[in-house]
Amino acid sequence: MLSIKDALSKDKVGKKVQVRGWIYRTRCSGGIVFAVLRDVTGTIQVAIKKGNVPDDDFEAANKAGIESSVIIEGEVVEDKRAPGGYEIRASGFKLVGAAEAFPITEYQSTELLLDLRHLWIRSREQTAVSKIKASLLRGAREWFYENDYIEVTPPIITGVAPEGSTTLFQVKYYDRIAYLSQSAQFYLESLIYSLEKVYALTPSFRAEKSRTPRHLSEYWHLEMEAAWVDNEGNMKVQEELVSAMVQNAVKECETELKLLKRDVSILKKVQPPFDRMKYDEAMEFLQKKGHEVSWGSDLGAVEERTLTVDRQVPVFVVNYPKELKPFYMKENPDDSRTYKNSDLLAPEGFGEIIGGSERETDNALLIERLRDIGESMDNYQWYLDLRKYGSVPHSGFGLGIERIVTWVCKLDHIRDSTPYPRTVARVYP
Ligand code: 4AD
Ligand code: MG
């Protein structure tokens, strides 16, 4: 048995091969069934001619609809008319699993494609996105491995709300209420006292009630935390990590990126260092571009688009006003109205892919801020303990995997960056 990619090669010409996969397209003309077969590696045209295969097999091939699974045996020939330049002339055809009339045809509404997601994920576009996502993740894991980070496994059921109580999903946890994790950050912070440099890839949950093209209710969150690292060091990790991820996808997935019509030459420019822009400069830039913002305004999708639409490489926005960010960040000694933090915005209009900061180490300040936001201290006692026993300067960040996939694949909507998008409107299939 050969993969389709291996069958599509000059040295296989004239040889008898076996391939298997799913029928992607099929037509019959002049007593020959031309079926395009796909497997994970690619597609190849197969010609099944009456007389060259047993009659029963020819009939089965003639009737087999798209998405039928089949095994084909035959000779590889060079044929300029065939897509890809090669064809298999079949001497054997075996139907493994017949397909009923496939419910997805060429032009379908977005809603129908979401209802039929379990079938739509077979499409060439979705397959390409899945491979690119895997390649980005592999690039990240390799980078962390090469730089001596230790992968850890924080809990998903939790009692803390690092990113605020408005987007929490509650779960009934025996006789109590618990939450689905918004971020593993606090648990990662607790692990740096022994492991120093850690990372985790976990699902994170946000009850985002508005429908936007960049929010999911469940997403994959790649988070890092490191001892002895300040906010500048934190940004260095981010620019190196993101560049390594993107360059790995460029190296491994050129075919898939091209299938999505992604300009790979732009992605090749994603190399460190990335520009750093102070929040104040971002405000000035936005005002010049006609946005009605002033110091203290948050950056939403629209503002982030303006900041990044003419860029090809991500950019950091640093030192946000405290009011806009969570309680755990370290105050900026140069301007106490702001934090030592950064958001990393993807270029070409995409916007935030990472949120990160140096962490506050002063318990008195943390307690004051927790009180201000009305959090019960009981759930945070353990977090405050961390500052009592050998506290050190430390920083970390969280990268939304589906956000980086959306940018790298240049997708219109985040839902296409994941096989089963979870949004306010949908939990099926
Ligand atoms: O900016 P956020 O909320 O930061 C944190 O959760 C920190 N505690 C992370 C840390 O420092 N360890 O989320 C981090 C990233 C965002 O930049 C974005 O990429 C992604 O998570 N994200 C989402 N992705 C998809 N759908 C959503 N609803 C998202 N919310 C955040
Ligand atoms: Mg954020």
Cα-to-centroid distance, 354 and ligand 1 (Å): 6
Cα-to-centroid distance, 220 and ligand 1 (Å): 9
Cα-to-centroid distance, 73 and ligand 1 (Å): 50
For residue 400, give the ligand 1 atom closest to its CA.
19
For residue 354, give the ligand 1 atom closest to its CA.
17
Q: What is the spatial distance between Cα 298 and Cα 321, in angstroms, rounded to a whole number? A: 9
Range 293-313 average pLDDT: 98
pLDDT band (50, 70, 90) for residue 46: very high
Range 294-322 average pLDDT: 98
Q: β-strands 315-318, 275-278: how paired?
A: parallel
The pLDDT assigned to 392 comes to: 98
Cα-to-centroid distance, 352 and ligand 1 (Å): 9
For residue 356, give the ligand 1 atom closest to its CA.
11
Cα-to-centroid distance, 343 and ligand 2 (Å): 7
Range 342-350 average pLDDT: 98
DSSP 37-84: EEETTEEEEEEEEBTTB-HHHHHHHHH--TT-EEEEEEEEEE-TTSTT
Name the nearest CA neighbour of 237 among 289, 274, 210: 274
Name the nearest CA neighbour of 91 among 140, 37, 46: 46
The pLDDT assigned to 251 comes to: 98
Q: Which residue out of 403, 406, 422 has the highest number of ligand 1 atoms within 8 Å of its CB and is therefore the one to mutate?
A: 403
Cα-to-centroid distance, 221 and ligand 1 (Å): 7
pLDDT tens by residue, 399-414 = 999 999 999 999 999 9
Identity at 290, one-letter amino acid code: G
DSSP lists the bridge partners of residue 202 as: 221
Question: Quick one: what percent of the chain has pLDDT higher than 90?
Answer: 96
For residue 271, give every residue at least 6 positions away whose Cβ sits within 8 Å of its Cβ, in sequence order, or none: 243, 247, 313
Ramachandran assignment for 303, one of left (phi > 0), alpha (psi -120 to 50 degrees), beta (any other): alpha
For residue 353, give the ligand 1 atom closest to its CA.
19
Report residues whose beta carbon is within 6 angstroms of any ligand 1 atom: 162-163, 182-183, 185, 206, 208, 215-216, 219, 221, 223, 352-356, 396-400, 402-403
Q: Which ligand is closest in space to the CA of residue 418?
A: 1
Residue ranges of E strands in 181-263: 197-205, 218-227
Closest residue to atom 21 of ligand 1, CA basis: 400
pLDDT band (50, 70, 90) for residue 83: confident
Cα-to-centroid distance, 354 and ligand 2 (Å): 7
Burial of 145-162, coded b for 16+ CB within 10 Å and e otherwise, reads eeeebeebebeeebebbb
Name the token pair of 370: 């927790």
The pLDDT assigned to 100 comes to: 97
Q: What is the spatial distance between Cα 237 and Cα 247, in angstroms, rounded to a whole number? A: 15
Q: Which residue out of 352, 407, 424 has the highest number of ligand 1 atoms within 8 Å of its CB and is therefore the one to mutate?
A: 352
The pLDDT assigned to 106 comes to: 86
Closest residue to atom 2 of ligand 1, CA basis: 355
With the C-alpha atoms ordered 332, 337, 339, 343, is the resulting torsion angle positive or negative? negative
pLDDT band (50, 70, 90) for residue 376: confident
Residue with tokens 């209802």: 115
Q: β-strands 315-318, 341-346: how paired?
A: antiparallel
Identity at 266, one-letter amino acid code: I
User: Is 90 exceeded by the pLDDT of residue 292?
Assistant: yes
The pLDDT assigned to 261 comes to: 98
User: Is 90 exceeded by the pLDDT of residue 107?
Assistant: no
Phi, then psi, of 382 in degrees rounded to 5: -65, -35
Closest residue to atom 18 of ligand 1, CA basis: 400
Cα-to-centroid distance, 365 and ligand 1 (Å): 23
- Under a CB-based contact definition with an 8 Å cutoff, are residues 92 and 20 in contact? no
The pLDDT assigned to 45 comes to: 97
For residue 162, give the ligand 1 atom closest to its CA.
8
pTM of the model: 0.97
User: Is 90 exceeded by the pLDDT of residue 358?
Assistant: yes
The pLDDT assigned to 84 comes to: 87
DSSP lists the bridge partners of residue 78 as: 86
Closest residue to atom 6 of ligand 1, CA basis: 183
pLDDT tens by residue, 162-189 = 999 999 999 999 999 999 999 999 999 9
The pLDDT assigned to 104 comes to: 96
Q: What is the spatial distance between Cα 187 and Cα 3, in angstroms, rounded to a whole number? A: 43
Residue ranges of E strands in 79-217: 86-97, 150-151, 157-158, 170-173, 176-180, 197-205
Name the nearest CA neighbour of 22 among 77, 64, 76: 64
Name the nearest CA neighbour of 17 among 28, 6, 32, 31: 6
Ramachandran assignment for 148, one of left (phi > 0), alpha (psi -120 to 50 degrees), beta (any other): left
Range 215-233 average pLDDT: 98
User: Is 90 exceeded by the pLDDT of residue 351?
Assistant: yes
Name the nearest CA neighbour of 345 among 306, 316, 311: 316
Closest residue to atom 3 of ligand 1, CA basis: 163
Range 141-153 average pLDDT: 98
User: Is 90 exceeded by the pLDDT of residue 210?
Assistant: no
Closest residue to atom 9 of ligand 1, CA basis: 398
Cα-to-centroid distance, 305 and ligand 2 (Å): 15
How far, CA to CA in Å, does 193 sit from each of 226, 258, 394? 9, 44, 10
Average pLDDT, the chain: 97
